[in-house]
Amino acid sequence: MGLRKLAPLWLFIVVLMASCGDKPADLSTIEGMNAALEENPNDTAALYARARYFLGKGKPDSAVVDMQQLIRIDSTRSSYFVTLADIYLVTNRTRFTRQALQKAISLDASNTDAHMKLAELYLYVEMRQEALNSLNEVLKRNKTNPKAYYLKGMVYKEGGDTNLAISSFLTAAEQDPQYANAYEQLGLIYSAKHDKRAIDFFNNVLKVNPNNSQTRYNIGYFYQQHGELEKAIEVYSELTTKDPSYPFSHYNIGFILFEYQNKPAEALPYFLQASKVKADYAEAIYMAGLCNEKLGNKELALQDYREALKRNPGFDLASNAIQRLGGQP
């Protein structure tokens, strides 16, 4: 009788020990992935996790080894070939990237990710019609996909069809009012057309991403290009406050002060600041030299020109300026 009473407890302990032994591996860390694969080299979940880990860590060679092993085990999953394509693209193996994406689509024609990445690849290698074909496949399944319209806009823009590009970017923004890249492209197109609507589109970008320094610079540059210099300085000054490390705002304030307003003394510190935040900005230190030269500071000007030449040994303007002042490089 005693043994019968103990039997259920004994069975419980055995089951508990077995369940502890079957505890799934932790694939959230590289140590866990390695441990799982040491126990079972054909663990597909661990192989896939480690390949993506290596890709994220900038180790595509290691990632591709795991993906190739994974596909040898199971070649039926479309998502595996999309990841393999991502790895090939990082190493600029575009032919293999295309083959992997085409395989992904052959396994699952509804794989939007594969169609979209194939379109981006075709755009990258300037196969525009093929890119449009891939994007149209996406839009057949989802007519509200904003990225598909955005990429169509890029295809048309690269092909020189501005009107269709505008239409596609506008549609992308209609589908997703937060699609900042579409507004950015519209701003750039209208800037090239010298159309003030560019400012509205750039401001839409800033509504979505107030810290976009390039877009804020684009607004200032539009004003500068169209003679609204005080507005340009205002925008650039705001940018120097929001992002002091952005060199071109400092430079352009200095350029306006020097070139258009004949204020070399006021322009000088802006050029010096631009040259500090961008170590290879030879043009900025050269402009500082022009300011010093105009102010009669010949030796300081020569120092600036020599520094500009040091930063860019092929900078002919700096070489010519040194010769003009009778100095030695």
**Confidence class of residue 328 from pLDDT cuts 50, 70 and 90?**
confident
> What average pLDDT is seen over the chain?
92
Q: Is the dihedral of CA 17, 19, 22, 25 positive or negative?
A: negative
| Per-position DSSP letters for 251-286, written without gaps between them | HHHHHIIIIIT--HHHHHHHHHHHHHHSTT-HHHHH
Common-topology check for domains 29-108 and 245-329: yes
Number of H helices, E strands in the chain: 19, 0
Name residues whose C-beta falls within 8 Å of residue 149's C-beta, 6 or more positions apart in sequence.
139, 168, 169, 171, 172, 175, 182
Residue 23: its pLDDT value, please? 55
- Write the pLDDT tens digit of every residue in 209-261: 999 999 999 999 999 999 999 999 999 999 999 999 999 999 999 999 999 99
Looking at residue 320, its amino acid is N
The architecture CATH gives domain 29-108? Alpha Horseshoe (1.25)
pLDDT at residue number 27? 87
DSSP class of residue 245 equals T
Reading the block at residue 275, the tokens are 């040259």
Q: What is the DSSP string of 66-110?
A: HHHHHHHH----HHHHHHHHHHHHHTT-HHHHHHHHHHHHHH-TT
Asked whether residue 15 carries a pLDDT value surpassing 50, the answer given is: no
State in Å, rounded, how far the first CA of the chain is from the last one. Answer: 105
| Residue 26: predicted pLDDT | 81
Q: Is the pLDDT of residue 265 over 90?
A: yes
Percent of the chain with pLDDT over 70: 92
CATH class of 245-329: mainly alpha
Between residues 17 and 322, the one the model is more confident about: 322
pLDDT of 203 higher than 60: yes
Say yes or no to pLDDT of 178 above 80. Answer: yes
Closest Cα partner for 276 from 250, 241, 305, 302? 250
Where does the pLDDT of residue 299 fall: very low under 50, low under 70, confident under 90, or very high at 90 and above?
very high
Sorted by sequence, the CB contacts under 8 Å of residue 146 that are 6+ apart come out as 172, 173, 175, 176, 179, 182
In the chain, what are the domain boundaries?
29-108, 245-329
Q: What is the DSSP letter of 312?
A: -
pLDDT of residue 329: 66
Is the pLDDT at 17 greater than 80? The verdict is no
Cβ-contact 189, 202 below 8 angstroms:
no
| Model confidence band, residue 49 (pLDDT cutoffs 50, 70, 90) | very high
- Band (pLDDT 50/70/90 cuts) for residue 7 is very low
Q: What is the pLDDT of residue 18?
A: 41
Percentage of the chain exceeding pLDDT 90: 90
* Residues 68-97: tens digit of each pLDDT: 999 999 999 999 999 999 999 999 999 999
Is pLDDT above 90 for 4? Answer: no
93-136 confidence digits (pLDDT tens): 999 999 999 999 999 999 999 999 999 999 999 999 999 999 99
